[in-house]
Amino acid sequence: MQLPIVVSEVGSSTLQDQIFEQIRAMILDGQLKAEDPLPATRDLSAQAGVSRNTAVLAYERLIAEGYLYTRPHVGTFVASEIPEDALSVLRNGHEPGAIEHRLPRTPCPSIRLQHPRDAHQLVSPHGSRLTADFWVGRPDPASFPTKAWSKHIWRRLQSAGTGLTEYGNPAGLLELRQAIADHLGPARGIIADPDQIIIVGGCQDGFNLISRLLIEQGTPAIVENPCYQGAAYVLQCHGATLHPVPVDREGLDVSQLPGMRRAVVYITPSHQYPMGVTLSLPRRITLLSWATENDAYIIEDDYDSDFRFVGSPLTALKGLDRRDRVLYLGTFSKCMGPGLRLGYIVVPPPLSDVAKRLKALMSNGQAWLEQAAMADFMSSGGYQRHLRRVRQLYLEKRDALIAALDENFGPGTVSGADGGMHLVCRIPDGLPNVDEIERRALSKGIGVCSFSSGAALYFGDDDGQRRHLVLGYAALTPKQIKKSISQLAGLLSPNSHAPKMVASSAASEAEA
Ligand X SMILES: Cc1ncc(COP(=O)(O)O)c(C=O)c1O
Q: Is 228 in the site for ligand X (CB under 6 A)?
A: yes
| Shortest separation between residue 332's beta carbon and ligand X, angstroms | 7
| Shortest separation between residue 299's beta carbon and ligand X, angstroms | 10
CA atoms of 312 and 319, how far apart (whole Å): 15
By rule CB under 6 A, what string of x and - marks binding of each residue 458-487 to ligand X? ------------------------------
The DSSP code for 295 is: T
- Length of the chain measured in residues: 512
Residue with Cβ nearer ligand X (206 or 220): 206
Residue with Cβ nearer ligand X (23 or 456): 456
| Residue 15, phi then psi, degrees to nearest 5 | -60, -40
If residue 71 lies in a helix (H) or strand (E), which one and from where to where? strand 68-71
Q: Which of residues 296-335 bind ligand X (CB under 6 A)?
A: 301, 303, 331, 333
Residue with Cβ nearer ligand X (339 or 349): 339
| Shortest separation between residue 179's beta carbon and ligand X, angstroms | 17
Largest separation between any pair of C-alpha atoms in the chain: 93
Single out the segment in contact with ligand X by CB under 6 A; choices: 196-204, 369-377, 393-401, 439-447: 196-204
Residue with Cβ nearer ligand X (55 or 222): 222
CA atoms of 457 and 226, how far apart (whole Å): 5
CA atoms of 329 and 493, how far apart (whole Å): 42
Residue with Cβ nearer ligand X (20 or 273): 273
Cα–Cα separations (whole angstroms), residue 246 to 18, 258, 299? 61, 12, 17
Residue with Cβ nearer ligand X (449 or 501): 449
| Residue 414, phi then psi, degrees to nearest 5 | -115, 135
| Shortest separation between residue 272's beta carbon and ligand X, angstroms | 9
The count of other CB atoms within 10 Å of the CB of residue 375 is 23
The count of other CB atoms within 10 Å of the CB of residue 114 is 15
Single out the segment in contact with ligand X by CB under 6 A; choices: 53-61, 94-102, 198-206, 313-321: 198-206
| Residue 140, phi then psi, degrees to nearest 5 | -70, 120
| Contact between 72 and 31 (Cβ < 8 Å) | no
Single out the segment in contact with ligand X by CB under 6 A; choices: 147-155, 199-207, 253-261, 428-436: 199-207
Report the residue from 45, 196, 204, 270 that binds ligand X according to the rule CB under 6 A. Answer: 204
Size of the site for ligand X (CB under 6 A): 14
| 3-state SS assignment for residue 116 | coil
Q: Is 202 in the site for ligand X (CB under 6 A)?
A: yes
CA-closest candidate to residue 107, choices 250, 239, 204: 239
| Shortest separation between residue 383's beta carbon and ligand X, angstroms | 16
CA atoms of 33 and 21, how far apart (whole Å): 16
Which residue has its beta carbon closest to ligand X?
Answer: 202
Q: Is 269 in the site for ligand X (CB under 6 A)?
A: no
| Contact between 344 and 197 (Cβ < 8 Å) | yes
Q: Is 343 in the site for ligand X (CB under 6 A)?
A: yes
CA-closest candidate to residue 270, choices 213, 234, 230, 224: 224
Q: Is 371 in the site for ligand X (CB under 6 A)?
A: no
Q: At what angle do helices 15-28 and 52-64 cross, to 10 degrees?
A: 50
Strands (DSSP E) along 348-499, which ranges? 422-426, 446-447, 456-457, 468-472
Q: Alpha carbon 332 to chain centroid distance?
A: 12
Q: Which residues pair with 222 in a beta bridge?
A: 243, 265
Q: Is 273 in the site for ligand X (CB under 6 A)?
A: yes
Strands (DSSP E) along 332-372, which ranges? 343-346
Report the residue from 268, 278, 452, 480 that binds ligand X according to the rule CB under 6 A. Answer: 268
Report the residue from 337, 338, 416, 447 that binds ligand X according to the rule CB under 6 A. Answer: 338
Report the residue from 20, 50, 137, 277 that binds ligand X according to the rule CB under 6 A. Answer: 137
| Shortest separation between residue 163's beta carbon and ligand X, angstroms | 23
Residue with Cβ nearer ligand X (39 or 472): 472
Single out the segment in contact with ligand X by CB under 6 A; choices: 123-131, 142-150, 202-210, 480-488: 202-210
| Shortest separation between residue 111's beta carbon and ligand X, angstroms | 14
Residue with Cβ nearer ligand X (230 or 313): 230
| Shortest separation between residue 343's beta carbon and ligand X, angstroms | 4
Residues contributing to the site for ligand X (CB under 6 A): 137, 202-204, 228, 230, 268, 273, 301, 303, 331, 333, 338, 343
